[in-house]
Chains A and B, each alone.
Chain A
Amino acid sequence: MISESSATSTLNPPETKASVLITVSTPGIETAICRLGNSEEVVRGLTVRELIQRVINPNSLFSVGVPMSQLQAESSAALAIGELLGANCCDVVLPGKGDAADQSVSLDQLARAIALEHVGTQGNRFLNINLEVRSAPDTVAPTGQDRRQVPAPPAVEVETPSASIARPVLHPPVAQKPEWQPAPIRQEAEPSQKLVAARPEAPSAPLRASEPGPGAPEPVAPAAAETAGEPTAASDRAEAAVGADSAPVAQAPQASAKAILTIVAEAPAEEPQEQPRARKEYVRKSDWLRAQFLPEVEALDFSGLFVGNLGLGIREEKKRRNVVLADPARITDLLLRANGYRRSGEHAKALICYQELVDMDASNADFRFLLGKTMLALGQKEEAAEAFLRAKELGHDGADKELAELKRSGHRPRTGFGFLRFWKQ
């Protein structure tokens, strides 16, 4: 029993963005084409040659993707490639090296080389074959005419595999060679990405694997049942397949479409770049929280906590004096220590502490007054009078009494501005 759908190919015409899914059948069964273009139209019962004749317009470009999984079953690959080539509407062009015909590349050798090269290759899903269909010089189909209007080819005469089959060697007569136009395929694919067709002498050398195209469909048919066996067996099948198609071509000169067949690696299509999203204006959560709670926190009155440290009404007093208070705990402890020294009679130590307190808060009347008392105890009446005067200016109630005591004791300021200030009291 002959299995059906042993290999799958995909045509991707870059101009029309259409894809044609080709299912290559085994010889003698002409159920080939499944889908045409992007439409849902399903065409059945056509061979590859009929496809090219009826579906593909002349002077158009196509890309045929042969699944690598199918290529690994080389007989199926040979079938697929052989059918394409054996349609006698294609010529093989080795990239950069001219026509395959000039290099005496036989169809079965080429097919076998491609299949062998990719047997066991992992990671590649498709070998893409770019195809350019051109109208032969002797064709009657006008340019742009739908090839569907061309009369269908005559019925295919199926030859048995045992019969002697002319090998599908690409030796087109020179007179029949069309005037090739520069293949636009070469502009699409970089030379480094192209696969070079195998030479008959070294079939496995030039072919390189290609990355699959992202738009290429998954294989629709399972791998062929045939395993990769001897190349001769595969070539036999290829011959059979090609013979099936090549026979009518040889008998039907009206198969006028010619094609350039180049085997290239399909450059991996770039994934469509995501358009950068329009950035939203985000408000940081901390900023939002700050805006929410700032008025609330500012409205809270914490001044009561500090009455022991700074006295009542500290905020207003602080604003009035514009004093940047130093470490309050330090002030408190220093004051306690100074008082202790003074009460215990160590006035020299107390003087140092009071002087430091005055340096820390020069506008504190209490500190000035206590400094004056300590100076008075140490006999420094001149400095004590100055401190009392300053304390009085700052509003200390006891400074007047101390100044009066100094006057009664007969103290006289020696010189300077303090003399006048003292006697004005």
Chain B
Amino acid sequence: MEQVRPNGVFDDYAPYGQTPVIAFVNEKGGVAKTTSCVNLAAALGQAKKRVLCMDLDPQANATTAFGVSAEHAIEREAHCLLTMARFPLERAVVPTQVENVDLVPASARLSDCNKALVMEVGREGRLKNKLREFYHSVLTDKYDIVLLDCPPSLDLLSINALTAATHMIVPVTTKFYALKGMALLGDMVATLHEQIGATVRLLGILVTMFDKKTALDVTMYRLLKERIERDYGDYIFSTIITKSVVVSEAEAGGLPVTLREPESPAAEAYRRLADEVVGRLGHDVGLVAPMAAMAAQAN
């Protein structure tokens, strides 16, 4: 049954109204999922978008990258959100030092969710339900975009993220194993689509850690781009994240690179990525305002 709320029209394809929930997911580790998620959140925040970043990785690298202390992660974290039925999303949210960006932190305890949720009913949709409750509530401040940082495995945490997400961004390095991980992820998404009706859509494939001086990287990028565009369409972001030590230094300092080194090429690349993401989501074409007005009229 479709519902109309101030944030727009709610249905199966838009469970949170017009708010996109974007999952950064790839089964292969080390493809800059967390780095891309954190820096994209910061870039969107600088662009005056209200962003909620949810760290679903037990390694808690996104939490560290935002400079959130462990005290917050103990009291409020994604573990509670997923395992405790009465734990609302707004209780897990902590502010960050990045403007317009809030965080649901993680800790190593999050890895216990796989065991804790095994016997639970509707375990794949825990996160989706929490997000839906959050966006159906008229009492909470809403975010423009929600970003989910997934672990490098296709466990219950990733399944929850894929079930809850409306879109997914697949970071991938131009290495063959990363492409294989992407293909395995596709199998998982197809299974979720068939079995539980997941409606996550691919927003784009983000090429990361690209080294244009390496023949392997250039060749693999061309092969991937030709293959995807020929068979599926324009799903590869035109923004390419090149390998840069500045990003790693910024992560170690607890700040996204867009704030620590705003003039660096990496920061510029993430800002371009933010523009491209917003453009693909259609947020810049005035989609939200007419829908909100329309929903108000319907009420």
Contacts and interface: CB of A to CB of B under 8 A. Distances in A.
B232 A286 contact: no
Given A329-B281, A340-B294, A308 B9 contact: no
Given A293-B220, A309-B201, A336 B14 contact: yes
A290 B219 contact: yes
Contacts of A308: 189, 193, 198-202
Interface string B184-214: 0111111101100011111100000000000
Contact of A327 (B198, B231, B233, B297): B233
Contact of A343 (B9, B191, B199, B203): B9
B179 interface: yes
B289 interface: no
Interface residues of A, number: 42
B91 interface: no
Nearest to B297: A344
Interface in B217-238: 218-220, 222-224, 227-228, 231-235
A332 B233 CA distance: 14
Q: How many interface residues does chain B have, given as a range?
A: 35 or more
Nearest to B223: A297
Interface in A285-312: 285-286, 289-290, 293-294, 296-298, 300-310, 312
Given A286-B219, A300-B179, A312 B193 contact: yes
Contact of B189 (A296, A305, A333, A335): A305
Contact of B194 (A312, A333, A346): A312
Interface string B94-137: 00000000000000000000000000000000000000000000
Contact of B202 (A309, A325, A336): A309
B29 interface: no
Interface string A118-150: 000000000000000000000000000000000
B126 to A, nearest CB: 20
Nearest to A313: B190
A289 B280 CA distance: 33
A330 B190 CA distance: 21
B268 to A, nearest CB: 23
A332 B201 contact: yes
Q: Most chain-B CB neighbours within 10 Å: which of A289, A301, A327?
A: A289
Interface of A is mostly: helix
Contacts of A298: 227
A38 B183 CA distance: 76
A326 B228 CA distance: 13
Contacts of B48: none
Contact of A293 (B200, B219, B291): B219
B295 A307 contact: no
Interface string A397-415: 0000000000000000000
A418 B28 CA distance: 55
Given A297-B224, A302-B231, A289 B215 contact: yes
A54 interface: no
Contacts of A294: 223
Given A286-B215, A304-B185, A304-B189, A297 B202 contact: no
Interface in A252-300: 285-286, 289-290, 293-294, 296-298, 300
Given A304-B189, A332-B13, 4 more contacts: A300-B179, A302-B227, A308-B201, A344-B298
Interface of B: 2, 4, 8-9, 11, 13-14, 168, 170, 176, 179-180, 182-183, 185-191, 193-194, 198-203, 215-216, 218-220, 222-224, 227-228, 231-235, 280-282, 287, 291, 294-295, 297-298
